[in-house]
Amino acid sequence: MEERPLTGISPPGRIAAPGEGIGLDELALAARNHGLPLEAMRYEVTPAGLHYVLVHYDIPDTDSSTWRLTVRGRLRTPLELGLHELRALPSVTRRVTMECAGNGRARLSPRPVSQPWLVEAVGTADWTGVPLRAVLAEAGVAPEAVEAVFTGADHGVERGVEQHYRRSLPLPVGEDVLLAHTMNGGPLPPQHGHPLRLVVPGWYGMAHVKWLCDIELVDAPFAGYQQATAYRYRRHTADPAEPEDPGEPVTLIAPRALLIPPGFPDFMSRTRVLRPGPVRLAGRAWSGHGPVVRVELSTDGGGSWADAEVRPPGGHPYAWQGWHLDWTAAPGSHTLLVRATDASGRTQPLRQPWNRGGFGNNQVQAQAVSVIPR
């Protein structure tokens, strides 16, 4: 089904007023879409139930026994594949860290009103599936095809546009792009795209289309809602006097390091409580632009920085890397900051330049720690 206007239902995109708190609309989204409890970064591979979840509309009612993937458009042989047929094709497994492009949005000021992530919209899974390239080779891509458009079975309305969730990738697709039917060795859970999803290693979450039911090869760049309207770095504000900024598309994940929260938490403030003495600070760091080559920590709110030991990516070029640094905690209040730099030289800013959708905010994480007397 094509996208079509549906007026009078969707509120327009909105920027929160200065000082405006998180609203019930944002809370409703936050209660459906959950983040990774940061202590779960202790697991190299995130247990499926702890992986972050982001669903624009509803989790659709899907049945793997009747599921069909259609492959059509600018190609030689249209295909229709069931799950049995896909599972019978040669599969590969890739360990992939996935992060929502909106991670960090709730920290922006002024705040774009949407899913209000702090820093926790991330997870790492072992995805098993058929390389997309193999299926496209089977179908025979026509010379005039420039993009593949991926459609999810979920349906909704967003900013006045009724639509299936739909995104495209330029051709040729990378060899690591998967049609994944297995997550961490088991069937995909409903919320993660059961029975089939796209996995695009290194890209922000929006590219990894869940409940994948159709692939169409097209001869012009896809201009659908999730491509041309949403998921762009736009600088303009809600001010109607300002000209519309078409922005740049959101693609690869910017570098980020996060701390596995040390000590134990205060229930409401989430401040970490530690006893004085040696403590191993550890966490994960990742980037879609190449391996993380440096993680720095500041235990004095950014006054001075020390290099952590970073584990090399090994056989998993798209998975987060562990890091650690030993610290001697002295009594008092401290702010811990952590910052990753990747092989491309990209790093994390101390202050984030603002964009309209609140995407790619990889401002350094600040963790308040209270070291209590022994």
Ligand X SMILES: Nc1nc2c(c(=O)[nH]1)N[C@H]1C(S)=C(S)[C@@H](COP(=O)(O)O)O[C@H]1N2
Of 53-61, 249-257, 296-304, 335-343: span binding Mo ion (CB under 5 A): 53-61
Query: Of 373, 370, 293, 374, whose CA–CA distance to 339 is shortest?
Result: 293
211 makes contact with ligand X (CB under 6 A): yes
122 makes contact with Mo ion (CB under 5 A): no
Q: Are strands 178-183 and 122-131 parallel, antiparallel or unpaired?
A: antiparallel
* Euclidean distance between CA atoms 165 and 157, whole angstroms: 10
* Euclidean distance between CA atoms 88 and 264, whole angstroms: 47
The nearer residue to ligand X, 53 or 136, going by C-beta atoms, is 53
* Euclidean distance between CA atoms 174 and 92, whole angstroms: 14
Taking residues 277 to 316 in sequence order and writing x for each that binds ligand X by CB under 6 A, - otherwise, the string is ----------------------------------------
The nearer residue to ligand X, 149 or 297, going by C-beta atoms, is 149
* Residues 103-142 interacting with ligand X (rule: CB under 6 A): 123
The nearer residue to ligand X, 51 or 256, going by C-beta atoms, is 51
DSSP 286: E
One residue of 16, 119, 161, 206 binding ligand X per CB under 6 A: 206
* Euclidean distance between CA atoms 202 and 96, whole angstroms: 8
Calculated CA dihedral for residues 345, 348, 354, 358, nearest 10 degrees: 100
- The conformational region for residue 263 under phi > 0 = left, psi -120 to 50 = alpha, else beta, is left
One residue of 165, 286, 318, 327 binding ligand X per CB under 6 A: 165
154 makes contact with ligand X (CB under 6 A): yes
* Residues 25-64 interacting with ligand X (rule: CB under 6 A): 51-56
* Euclidean distance between CA atoms 78 and 70, whole angstroms: 7
Tell the residue number behind the tokens 């600018």, with chain if given: 74
CB of 52 to ligand X, least distance (A): 5
Interface residues with Mo ion (CB under 5 A)?
Answer: 54, 100, 205-206
Interface residues with ligand X (CB under 6 A)?
Answer: 51-56, 98, 100, 123, 152, 154, 165, 191-192, 205-206, 208-211
